Amino acid sequence: MTHDHPHASAPPHPAPDGQPRPGAEADAREFVGHRGRLFGLAYRMLGSAEEAEDVVQDAYLRWSGTDRGAVSHPGAWLAKVVTHLCLNRLTSARATRESYTGSWLPEPVLAEAGAGPLEAVERHDDVSTALLLLLERLTPAERAVYVLREAFGYPHREIAGLLDLAEANCRQLYGRAARRVAEPGDGGAARFGPPEPERRRALVESFVAAARDGDLAGLEKVLAQDVVWWSDGGGKVRAALRPVRGRDHVVRFLAGVARRTEEGTRLTVAEVNGAPGIVLHVGGRITGVATVALHADGRIGEVWFVSNPDKLGHATRRFAAYPESGG
């Protein structure tokens, strides 16, 4: 499966005398052909688009400095490099997230303007905020095996080669990861209803319409009784440090947020992490991005709102191409 990701071309790697080395342009084109898939792998591993881009760039530097005669399968070689770069980052990321101010949420990724609905449906299950949060339960090795198997369909034998592990060990890691992802609990898979793209879009559009009009009764209609609102301001902007639980509390919380919202803020429905989400923006500057999950009762059961400006750069660059952006 391929996904909607940055496709900026990589520059040819220069030779020591400053001139492009022979074959550099062909190597760059080869890399660009794998770039979207590599970004998708790194993003699922790290939950950060900015870090994923850094990893992909690092992989390109290694690719450009490698003897091509020693690489028989470029796609597998690059996937292995990216996986190991991500594993190195995950160890330090865990410590950072433990000391994070408030709730840590994955960095939102917007589809490029004009991406089709089918493409969004194909992406949904393995880049949703819900799943990315569930992956935080896993050890780095479990996460790598699960992502390679579930999102990219690698057989266990190939995963073993990518991770330098025994195939039997990979199977054990995958089984353990799958069980942990399915466990009930806060944000557990059992809490969420089926994706239902059309239902989700209708609910998001109704939510946006009610929020624009200050229609609190309208908000109540689309929210589940035990809805949970998560905020990620990262200590950089004002945000709830703890999840807001229950429809009445969430509606009152949103009414308070509306009173403090920057003048000129607009709400736009956009494809975020493979499903309809909400972008708050003033001109071309994004101030927040929300994604939702459906409750088993068919209403909005979970809302994840990212307003940490450090996590909005990638989304802002994508959103600049949207006709609704005002940018």
pLDDT tens digits along 258-273: 888 888 899 999 999 9
Question: Per-residue confidence at 71, pLDDT binned at 50, 70, 90?
Answer: confident
* DSSP notation for 170-223: HHHHHHHHHHHHH--STT-GGGB----HHHHHHHHHHHHHHHHHT-HHHHHHHE
Residue 249: both structure tokens together: 């509390």
Residues 133-148 have pLDDT tens digits of 999 999 999 999 999 9
Predicted local confidence at residue 245, as pLDDT: 96
Residues 120-136 have pLDDT tens digits of 434 445 688 989 999 99
Q: Please name the amino acid found at residue 318.
A: R
Residue 134: both structure tokens together: 């569930």
What's the alpha-carbon Rg for the chain, to the nearest Å? 21
Separation of alpha carbons 115 and 287, rounded Å: 22
Closest CA to 278 of 268, 286, 265, 287: 268
Of residues 113 and 222, the one with the higher pLDDT is 222
Residues 81-119 have pLDDT tens digits of 999 999 999 988 887 888 899 999 999 999 865 554 434
pLDDT at residue 2 is higher than 90: no
Residues 6-64 have pLDDT tens digits of 333 344 444 444 454 556 788 888 899 999 999 999 999 999 999 999 999 999 999 98
Q: Please name the amino acid found at residue 111.
A: A
Which of 180-184, 217-221, 270-274, 293-297 bottoms out in mean pLDDT, i.e. has the lowest? 180-184
pLDDT at residue 249 is higher than 50: yes
Residues 146-163 have pLDDT tens digits of 999 999 999 999 999 999
Q: Please name the amino acid found at residue 27.
A: D
Sign, CA torsion 12/48/204/305? negative
Predicted structure pTM score: 0.85
Predicted local confidence at residue 22, as pLDDT: 52
Averaged pLDDT of the chain: 85
Predicted local confidence at residue 23, as pLDDT: 62
Predicted local confidence at residue 12, as pLDDT: 43
Contact 325, 222 (CB under 8 A): no
Predicted local confidence at residue 104, as pLDDT: 95
Task: From residue 283, give the alpha-carbon distance in Å to each of 323, 325, 327.
Answer: 11, 6, 5
Mean pLDDT, residues 216-232: 96
* Burial zone of 173 (CB within 10 Å; 0-12 exposed, 13-18 middle, 19+ buried): buried
Predicted local confidence at residue 94, as pLDDT: 81
Residues 166-190 have pLDDT tens digits of 999 999 999 999 999 988 765 544 4
